[in-house]
Amino acid sequence: MSWVDRYFGGDDYVLLEGIPSQAIAEQCTDFMCETLEVGPGSRVLDVGCGMGRYSIALAKRGCLVTGIDSSPYMLAECMRLAECEPRFTIREMDFHETSFRDEFDAVLCWGNCLGYGSREDDAEAVRGMVAALVRGGRILIDLHNLPWYRRNGVGQSWRETDDYFMLSEMIFDEGAQKLVSREIIVPKNGSPPREYPATYLQYKPSEIADLLSSSGMIELKFYGDACASAGGPLFCPEGYNEQSHMMIVGGTKGNR
């Protein structure tokens, strides 16, 4: 079993990743709708939809959402949460192997879904996302912001919940340009610890911009979240700098 299958394949995922507050989730959804220019009737593809948190939020605002993911566990949770939302369709699919063509007004790839495999895998995934868009359709992808993670994410840390100790260790592999992490969950009831190794390829803005441009995207714009700490909007172009935790890129499909 790959680290991806194990990491995203069980209930520990919520412990490892956490769940955003309702207020943050609403701000994220507002940003998605505004940046993707979607509303009632818009056809949206959510790539790597996970448990469907944002797919469902967009569907509740009237979008016609198709969510794809390759994790049976995630899809089962997604189906459970989405059973009362008729505007949300769920499909089990590896997003590196999509076959959609000119079907969607917008594509969302949220939650740092790129970087789990090779750069060739990611390039294929991005080409598939762009192919899924109609001309003039919009895309929104979020990734780690490499300068922030190199300064703040590397090292060791721990946190505590009512039932667990959580130990984290992360290094940055300069040669491969990837983060290598290890998460250890230590139950307080004496059960054996559970360990989750992971690796994440990291991208510079120029790399992701070149990949999107070569795939047919134009009018690229980067967004960040640094302004939130200063009382500004959660996501804005001015927020993208070395202090931003996230690197978010949006663009429009050209006519070629």
**Rounded Cα–Cα distance for residues 89 and 82 (Å):** 9
Q: Give tens-digit pLDDT for 21-59.
A: 888 888 899 999 999 999 999 999 999 999 999 999 999
Beta carbons of 76 and 139 less than 8 angstroms apart: no
Looking at the predicted structure, is the pLDDT value of residue 119 above 80? yes
Q: Report the distance separating Cα 251 and Cα 223, nearest Å.
A: 11
Question: Where do the DSSP E strands lie in the chain?
Answer: 43-47, 64-69, 88-92, 104-109, 133-144, 155-160, 164-173, 178-187, 194-201, 217-223, 246-253
* Paired tokens of 237: 């172009």
Nearest CA among 187, 247, 250 for reference residue 220? 250
What's CA 171's distance to the chain center, in Å?
A: 21
pLDDT value of residue 77? 86
Percent of the chain exceeding pLDDT 90 equals: 68
Within a 10 A sphere around the Cβ of 134, how many other Cβ atoms?
14
Average pLDDT, integer, range 116-120: 92
Give the residue, 60 or 235, on which the prediction is more confident: 60
Identical fold at 3-144+203-253 and 148-199? no
What sign results for the dihedral spanned by CA atoms 156, 143, 221, 21?
negative
CA distance 10 to 120: 28
Q: Where are the domains of the chain?
A: 3-144+203-253, 148-199
- Judged against a pLDDT cut of 80, whether residue 227 lies above it is answered with no
Q: Which tens digit of pLDDT belongs to each residue from 94-108?
A: 888 888 999 999 999
Q: What's this model's pTM, rounded to 2 decimal places?
A: 0.93
What is the pLDDT confidence band of residue 231, given thresholds at 50, 70 and 90? low
Q: Cα separations (Å) of 102 from 46, 107, 138, 255?
A: 15, 11, 12, 12
Task: Give the three-state DSSP class for 171.
Answer: strand
Cβ atoms of 195 and 183 closer than 8 Å: yes
User: What pLDDT score was predicted for residue 21?
Assistant: 80
In CATH terms, the superfamily for domain 3-144+203-253 is Vaccinia Virus protein VP39 (3.40.50.150)
pLDDT > 90? residue 84: no
How far, rounded to the nearest angstrom, does the alpha carbon of residue 33 sit from its chain's CA centroid?
Answer: 16
Confidence of residue 256 (pLDDT cuts 50, 70, 90): low
Q: Please answer whether residues 244 and 146 qualify as being in contact, where contact means their C-beta atoms are separated by less than 8 angstroms.
A: no
> Which one, of 217, 199, 200, lies nearest residue 208 by Cα?
217
With contact defined as beta carbons under 8 Å apart, do 44 and 63 qualify? Answer: yes
Taking only the tens place, the pLDDT of each residue in 57-68 is 999 999 999 999
Quick check: 132 and 31 in contact, CB under 8 A?
Answer: no
Cα–Cα distance, 246 to 143 (Å, whole number): 6
Domain 148-199 CATH class label: mainly beta
